[in-house]
């Protein structure tokens, strides 16, 4: 079975004010020395009000869920010891008037010089799914075939509607913020691995990006691992929703590999249509229509049904069908994280949003 791994980013919010607090170094150290989390599993991020966790390589979705809960609880306990709590949301409901400190690493300091205002506003948290691929050549073939599904995944994962204490009108404001970097959005089509590497090298040699970590495409080949990395997802309120996306992404990759093996045509979608479809997904989440992989505008539920039908053979092989299908059904019934945050805001204001996020972030 194809192996997978998941990375999640969390905010650290003050227990009283709900504002982001720069305590990541302390929280990371305490979480790392705890008996339930290895140091390498809890990592720093660009800003000191964020931490990132990374699961080990997993074979089953049960492993993914177990590791994510373990890590959420480890970081959550460490955060509480320092007067804050973790928030598994794509953007902070509230922000300080002053910038949060940048983590003291050469790469992050260089980014702050390169794009000061973007770094100030980079209080955004995503979920990244790594899927093993047999080679970089195979990885590019998968990338070319799953890119048309990235707007759908973005809509499903939307969990960042709030910014500076108000509703942005976007289900995934994180997507909008990330798309301001030089190399971002839906990845282009590549002829092969050599074409991918050549184009990345050109970006590096031009000085437009300083390292491959600044390839902010919503899916890309990993330089550190033999994987394809899907990065379009907002971090999820609940760990089980993260597990659902791990299963979906793995199934999409396996279907794409199978299609490439029999030389099935690569899905054709004009780049401008795909870019607009991503904006539409970030704007509405699942509350409106979606643009399907063929470029048609349809009800969100119909597109999710098409996605489920598309990946069912791979889900069946992995034994994931029942779990993923049930979670997709619950998503359609109860809404995205963005829908739930907005409902809490209507019912009880920002305090209710903070309680929702705080309560759900360590819920199975």
Phi–psi pair at 133, nearest 5 degrees: -125, 145
Domains of the chain: 102-360 (3.30.590.20)
Contacts of 98 (CB under 8 A, 6+ apart): none
pLDDT digits (tens, 9 = 90+) for 66-124: 999 999 999 999 999 999 999 999 999 998 877 899 999 999 999 999 999 999 999 99
Q: Does residue 268 have a pLDDT over 90? A: no
210-242 residue pLDDT tens: 999 999 999 999 998 999 999 999 999 999 999
Across the chain, what does the average pLDDT equal? Answer: 95
Q: Is the dihedral of CA 282, 283, 285, 290 positive or negative?
A: negative
139, 195 in Cβ contact below 8 A?
no
- Contact indicator for 91, 162 with CB cutoff of 8 Å: yes
| pTM for the structure as a whole | 0.96
User: Angle 186-190-192 (CA atoms, 0-180°, nearest 5)?
Assistant: 145
Tokens 């050109």 sit at which residue?
202
pLDDT digits (tens, 9 = 90+) for 282-323: 999 999 999 999 999 999 999 999 999 999 999 999 999 999
């Amino acid at each position: 079975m194809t192996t997978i791994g998941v990375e999640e980013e969390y905010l650290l919010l003050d227990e009283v004010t709900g504002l982001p607090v720069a305590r990541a170094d302390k929280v990371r150290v305490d979480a790392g020395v705890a008996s339930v989390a290895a140091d390498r599993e809890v990592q720093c991020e660009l800003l000191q009000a964020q931490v990132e966790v990374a699961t080990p390589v997993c074979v089953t979705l049960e492993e993914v869920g177990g590791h994510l809960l373990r890590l959420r609880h480890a970081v959550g306990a460490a955060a509480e010891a320092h007067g804050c709590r973790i928030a598994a949301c794509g953007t902070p409901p509230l922000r300080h008037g002053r910038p949060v400190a940048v983590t003291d690493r050469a790469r992050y300091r260089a980014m702050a010089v390169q794009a000061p205002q973007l770094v100030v506003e980079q209080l955004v948290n995503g979920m990244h799914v790594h899927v093993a691929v047999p080679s970089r050549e195979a990885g590019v073939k998968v990338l070319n075939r799953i890119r048309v599904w990235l707007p759908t995944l973005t809509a499903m994962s939307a969990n960042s509607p709030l910014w500076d204490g108000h509703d942005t009108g976007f289900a995934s404001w994180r997507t909008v913020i990330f798309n301001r970097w030089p190399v971002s959005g839906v990845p282009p089509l590549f002829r092969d691995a050599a074409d991918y590497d050549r184009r990345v090298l050109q970006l590096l040699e031009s000085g437009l990006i300083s390292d491959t970590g600044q390839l902010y495409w919503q899916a890309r080949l990993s330089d550190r691992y033999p994987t394809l990395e899907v990065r379009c997802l907002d971090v999820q309120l609940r760990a089980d929703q993260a597990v659902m996306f791990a299963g979906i992404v793995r199934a999409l990759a396996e279907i794409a590999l199978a299609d490439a093996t029999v030389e099935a045509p690569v899905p054709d979608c004009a780049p401008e249509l795909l870019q607009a479809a991503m904006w539409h997904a970030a704007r509405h989440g699942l509350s409106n229509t979606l643009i399907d992989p063929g470029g048609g505008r349809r009800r969100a539920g119909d597109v999710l049904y098409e996605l489920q039908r598309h990946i069912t053979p791979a889900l069946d092989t992995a034994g994931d069908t029942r779990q993923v299908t049930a979670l997709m059904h619950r998503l359609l019934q109860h809404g995205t994280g963005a829908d739930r945050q907005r409902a809490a805001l209507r019912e009880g204001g920002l305090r209710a949003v903070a309680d929702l996020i705080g309560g759900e972030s360590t819920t199975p």
